[in-house]
């Protein structure tokens, strides 16, 4: 069955990537095949490059279904071809087809590759917030919920690349409360949700010089949530 390995090399050399990937998928579940499993397909997809993005997304699907953690390396391996893949398109694909992999992918893009694009920072805030809300309404693992709450808190405090006026409008209104005589609004991630507080003022001061925001503008954003 080594003839199949040689055939893959031949297809790859001639640029017949569709034929190669179809053969890899067919042989993946054959115990006696030298091409069995997902790893040959992962390696093949990792080296195709952004000009073959349609093929990458087409054949990543079955790999991600069989082994999501290993399959995600198609989009996160630290090799040049993978790092140059169009990240917004990958994010869109994962959001539509493999939602559970969105947070791990975004964490890699932001924390490992240090991508400062606000698209990914905003998306990561939204994903953390959405997951925290889901866990708060279910009997899911408390440890998972606590971990995500801490990640959300830490990310809001440390990232300067998300846009507060964009992410805050999607926070539930009951996470925004009046405080004391100042009447300033706080983003309260809730005793039962995140066990922490963020002042809109602190978010604004941290991002204001970069985004040209004002405290009053952010407070108004908070007020509009209740309307």
pLDDT at 152: 87
> Three-state SS string across 112-144, please?
HCCCCCHHHHHHHHHHHHHHHHHHHCCCCCHHH
- Per-residue pLDDT tens digits for 190-199: 322 333 344 4
Q: What is the mean pLDDT of residues 99-106?
A: 97
Q: Which residue has the tokens 């073959």?
A: 52
19-28, 119-128, 146-155, 182-191: which range is least confident on average? Answer: 182-191
- CA torsion, ordered 91, 84, 66, 93, to nearest 10 deg: 20
Q: Which residue has the higher pLDDT, 183 or 206?
A: 206
Quick one: what percent of the chain has pLDDT higher than 90?
A: 52
- Per-residue pLDDT tens digits for 3-15: 888 999 999 999 9
> Three-state SS string across 180-199, please?
CCCCEEEEECHHHHHCCEEE
Label residue 1 by pLDDT band (50, 70, 90).
Answer: low
pLDDT at 170: 75
Cβ contacts of 129 within 8 Å, gap of 6 or more:
152, 167, 170, 171
Report the SS3 class of residue 49. coil
- Per-residue pLDDT tens digits for 42-71: 999 999 999 999 999 999 999 999 999 999
Q: Is the overall model pTM greater than 0.75, yes or no?
A: yes
Q: What is the mean pLDDT of residues 168-188?
A: 47
Q: Which residue has the higher pLDDT, 217 or 186?
A: 217
């Amino acid at each position: 069955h080594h003839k199949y390995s040689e055939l893959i090399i031949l297809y790859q050399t001639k640029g017949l990537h569709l034929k190669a990937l179809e053969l890899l998928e067919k042989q993946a579940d054959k115990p006696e095949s030298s091409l069995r499993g997902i790893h040959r397909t992962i390696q093949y997809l990792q080296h195709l490059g952004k000009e073959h993005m349609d093929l990458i997304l087409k054949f990543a699907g079955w790999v991600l279904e069989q082994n999501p953690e290993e399959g995600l390396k198609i989009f996160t391996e630290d090799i040049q071809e993978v790092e140059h893949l169009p990240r917004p398109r990958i994010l869109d694909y994962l959001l539509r087809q493999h939602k559970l992999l969105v947070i791990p992918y975004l964490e890699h893009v932001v924390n490992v590759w240090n991508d400062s694009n606000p698209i990914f920072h905003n998306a990561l805030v939204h994903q953390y917030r959405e997951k925290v809300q889901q866990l708060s309404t279910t009997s899911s693992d408390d440890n998972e919920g606590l971990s995500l709450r801490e990640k959300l808190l830490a990310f809001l405090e440390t990232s300067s690349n998300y846009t507060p006026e964009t992410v805050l409008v999607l926070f539930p209104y009951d996470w925004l409360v009046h405080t004391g005589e100042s009447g300033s609004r706080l983003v309260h991630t809730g005793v039962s949700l995140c066990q922490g507080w963020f002042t809109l003022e602190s978010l604004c001061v941290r991002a204001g010089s970069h985004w040209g925001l004002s405290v009053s503008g952010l407070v108004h954003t908070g007020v509009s949530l209740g309307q």
